[in-house]
Amino acid sequence: MLLTDDAPTVAHAVDPAFRRDIIEGLSRSPKATPPIWFYDRHGSELFEAITDLPEYYPTRTETALLENHGADFADAVGEGRAVVEFGAGSSRKTPHLLRAIAPGAYVPIDISGDFLRASSATLAQAFPDLPVIPVEGDFNRPLTLPDAIEAMPRLGFFPGSTIGNMEPDAAVDLLRAMRRLLGDEAMLLIGVDRIKDRDRLIAAYDDAAGVTAAFNLNLLTRINRELEGDLPIDGFAHRAIWNDDKARVEMHLEAVQPLHFHVAGQGFRMGQGETIHTESSHKYGERDGRLLLRSGGWEPVREWTDKEGLFSLMLARAG
C-alpha cells in the first residue's frame, strides 16, 4: 500500500540549493559540483541504465549478495523493522531485502520526486500488505521520518556504495546523522565498494557504450534547462581517472576548447583542458569500512562479500 502526503509540485520550479551549489562550484578553482545534482528524472534513468552495463560490476555483485544471504539478514535483523532506504532510486535491489526480513514498513528517500513516486508505486503493487511511505528529500540535509513508523525499530538501507561518493569526513558526518535519525535501536545495512584493479575500476566509470558519459553530461543539460545556462554541451568531454593517493575514481567534465558561458546570469570561463570535478567514488580496503562505520557511531555486526572480493554488504548496530 502506497502512503503519501506529498503536496503538488510546481512545474519548472528552481531549487535554490541547486542554484547555490552550482554557482559556488563553478566559482571555485578547481571547479567542482556535488554529485547529488546528477539525479533529475533523466539522470536517474541514465544511472539505472549504467547499473545494467557489463562493465558496471557493483550492482550485479551487490544484488547477488542480497539474493544469496536473505536467511542471514532475517536472522540478524529480525521482523517488523521499518526499512528506511537512503537514495532509493528505482528500489530494484530492495525487494530481495524486503522478502527476507518481513518489515513493518518501507520508507524510500530520494531527491528525484517523480522517479521516487513511480518506483514507490511499483513496489507497493509488488508488496500490497506493506506500507510504502516515500519521502522526497536530500538525505544529506535534515529530514523527518513519517509518523507512521514512530513506534517501529528501524533498519537503514544504504546500498550501491553511495557512501563512497563522499569525502571521508562528510561520510562520517552522514553516518552520524543517520544514527540520530534512525534511533538507538536501529541497524544499518550498507554497501561498500572495495579497492581493486585500476583498469576494472576505470571501465566501470567509462563504459564502451558511453552511457556514463551521457549521465555526466546530462548535468550540463539540467543546468541549461533549470538555471538559464548556455553551456555548450559539445564543448565538454567525460573523463574518468583513478586517484591512487585518495583511493577513488573521479569523474570530470573537461573543456575541449576555451569556453565562456553563463549560469543564472553569471559569467564563467574555462581554459582548454580545465575540468569540472563532478563526482568521486571512494573505494575501501578490507578493514576501512569497519573503521568508517565506527567513526560514524555504528558497531559492525556482520559482513558479506563476493568470492572475488569486489564488493561488501556490511550490517551494523547503533553504537
Query: Which residue in this structure is represented by grid cell 578490507?
Result: 286
Q: What is the pLDDT of residues 1-47, one digit of tens each?
A: 777 655 444 445 788 999 999 999 999 999 999 999 999 989 989 99
Positive or negative CA dihedral for 85, 91, 97, 102?
positive
Of the spans 119-123, 285-289, 300-304, which averages the highest pLDDT?
300-304
Cα–Cα distances in Å, from 234 out to 58, 231, 256? Answer: 30, 9, 8
Per the CB < 8 A criterion, the answer to whether 129 and 161 are in contact is no
Mean pLDDT of 248-257: 98
pLDDT of residue 8: 41
Q: How far out from the chain centre does Cα 264 lie?
A: 26
| Res. 263: pLDDT tops 80 | yes
User: With helix as H, strand as E and coil as C, how does 115-180 read?
Assistant: HHHHHHHHHHHHCCCCCECCEECCCCCCCCCCHHHCCCCEEEEECCCHHHHCCHHHHHHHHHHHHH
The predicted pLDDT at position 12 comes to 54
For the whole model, what pTM was predicted? 0.86
Q: What angle, 0 to 180 degrees and rounded to 10, lies between the N-to-C axes of helices 94-101 and 57-68?
A: 10
> Residue 103: its pLDDT value, please?
97
Q: How far lies 104's CA from each of 4, 92, 159, 189, 212, in Å?
A: 16, 19, 20, 16, 36
Residue 177, pLDDT > 90, answer: yes
Cis peptide preceding 30, ω within 30 of 0: yes
**Tally of CB atoms within 10 A around 127:** 16
Give me the pLDDT at residue 255, please: 98
Could you identify the residue written with the cell 539474493?
67
How large is the average pLDDT for residues 300-314? 97
In this prediction, residue 217 carries a pLDDT of 98
Structure confidence at residue 260 as a pLDDT band (50, 70, 90): very high
| Mean pLDDT score, 160-178 | 94
Query: How far, in Å, are 17, 33, 85, 290 from residue 158 at the CA level?
Result: 23, 22, 6, 15
- Per-residue pLDDT of 118-142, as tens digits, reads 899 999 999 999 999 999 988 888 8
